[in-house]
Amino acid sequence: MSVSAVAADRSVCAPLPVLGRDVRVPLVTGGEVDYAALDYAASAPALQRVWDDVAAYAPYYGSVHRGAGYLSQLSTDLFENSRRTIAEFLGCGAEDQVVFTRSTTDSLNLLASVLPQATRVFVFETEHHASLLPWEQRPDVAVTYLNAPRTPRQAVDTLEKALAERDPYGPALVCVTGASNVTGELWPVRELAAAAHAHGARIVLDAAQLVPHHPVNIAELDVDWVAFSGHKLYAPFGAGVLAGRADWLQAAAPYLAGGGASRKVSRRTDGGVDVEWHTTAARHEAGSPNVIGAYAIASACQALTEAGFDGLVAREQELIARLRAGLAEVPEVNVLSLFGEDAARVGVFSFVVEGWNSSHFAAALSAEYGIGVRDGLFCAHPLVRTLLGSEPQDPGECGAPEAAPGERSLNAIRVSFGVGTPDEHVDRFLRAVKELVTDGATWNYRTEDGRCVPARSAG
């Protein structure tokens, strides 16, 4: 069956509506407002299309790959068709594999587990922890951390220099983000891939923040693997993807040992067991697969493809320009950037406000304006420390203010949006920023369990 067959008669709604667009939330100052979800970079809301597809399939849910019954066969067909839909969305070649995982983090840990012995990994300190940390789990793998570049050209030059100094005969892997989860800035992926391949290295693209905003094509970008999460791609059902070259995946031991990954298991005369493992993507998908998560990702891929990325990108760029101009009108706001204020970016901005603890500011946006943003170090501690000009050992914790409201702290505020963001939410956010900077918060706040929260009474 096709990926959308179970919801073929779905009515057409407004372009790419998302769940939660009509949710009302209370304000500490009284009354309610429509919730402005501006934290897409953490988890994007589900597309209504995805929700409808999943709901239509749910009554037909069954075990995958192991059942003779009709629902099992239907679910297996849906699962494998989802894999093909995602492969087409990513421009995978015939020999590439699409492996379903739990998340971007899981995908990159999977890739780390299959690296050949003595692989040399090159990764910029600017990466999200999901792509910064997995390589350290392999004691036989050497990791080279590259300093934060200040221009796209410097990123390429830094990588080329590091690769030129390595042993040219051993395996090597470059890991790079497509769009920063902190600044939203686009990285020169094609140029980095060319540099990697020129020096005999492979490259994996962390596309978690890129794939919801721009088309990602493995062949056009010339990357070896792509990793991303469904929950960033408007499909928050606990699945992720690692897609790309099959050889290292086929040569390595399964990521998890168990049913589904094994083709044949037999007892030996010495009392042990012999195992023949799959060489397909199933080799690294042991256990009962998350068919709903896989189907949700495929549904989101179809929805974005049918909507057309040209129009989606154009609209997002309008919102980016509006947000950039509005924040520039507030001198107290410092937008964080590696490549400069005019750098190409997706709908992700991080900033600090003079005279404000970032967690206090984020709490006031939520409690007094019904606006959800993120504050902290965004699981990219080295990058945010660099952008804030702090020393590596300075205190700071992701999402936890270590300073009282009004005091400076080593964290920032992040606002992010996507295909479901109304213009009004961006406008309300800009009004709120200007009012908080000009007039201050109208409520008292305190730190509780590591979070800045409204006190029980107003100021």
Strand residue runs (E) in 299-379:
333-335, 348-353, 371-372, 374-376
Residue 214 near residue 313, CB atoms below 8 Å: yes
Beta bridge partners of 101: 240
Joined together, the tokens standing for residue 329 give 């009108």
Strand residue runs (E) in 116-179:
120-124, 142-146, 172-177
Residue 144 near residue 92, CB atoms below 8 Å: no
Burial of 309: CB neighbours in 10 Å, binned 0-12, 13-18, 19+: middle
Catalytic member of 175, 301, 379, 452: 379
Residue 50 near residue 35, CB atoms below 8 Å: no
Q: How far is CA 308 from the centre of its chain?
A: 21
All residues at 6 or more sequence positions from 306 whose CB lies less than 8 Å from its CB, including other chains: none
CA–CA dist 378, 41 (Å, integer): 10
Rounded to whole angstroms, what are the CA distances from 192 to 130, 170, 197, 199, 205?
19, 19, 9, 11, 10
**In the block, residue with structure tokens 């702090």:** 390
Among residues 337, 368, 369, the alpha carbon closest in space to that of 352 is found at 337
Number of Cβ atoms within 10 Å of the Cβ of 68: 6
- Crossing angle of helices 291-307 and 309-328, in 10° steps, is 80
Strand residue runs (E) in 271-353:
273-277, 333-335, 348-353
13 is catalytic: no
CA–CA dist 247, 213 (Å, integer): 30
Burial of 264: CB neighbours in 10 Å, binned 0-12, 13-18, 19+: exposed
Residue 354 near residue 185, CB atoms below 8 Å: no
Rounded to whole angstroms, what are the CA distances from 273 to 127, 259, 285, 315?
41, 14, 20, 58
The residues annotated with a catalytic role in the active site are 379
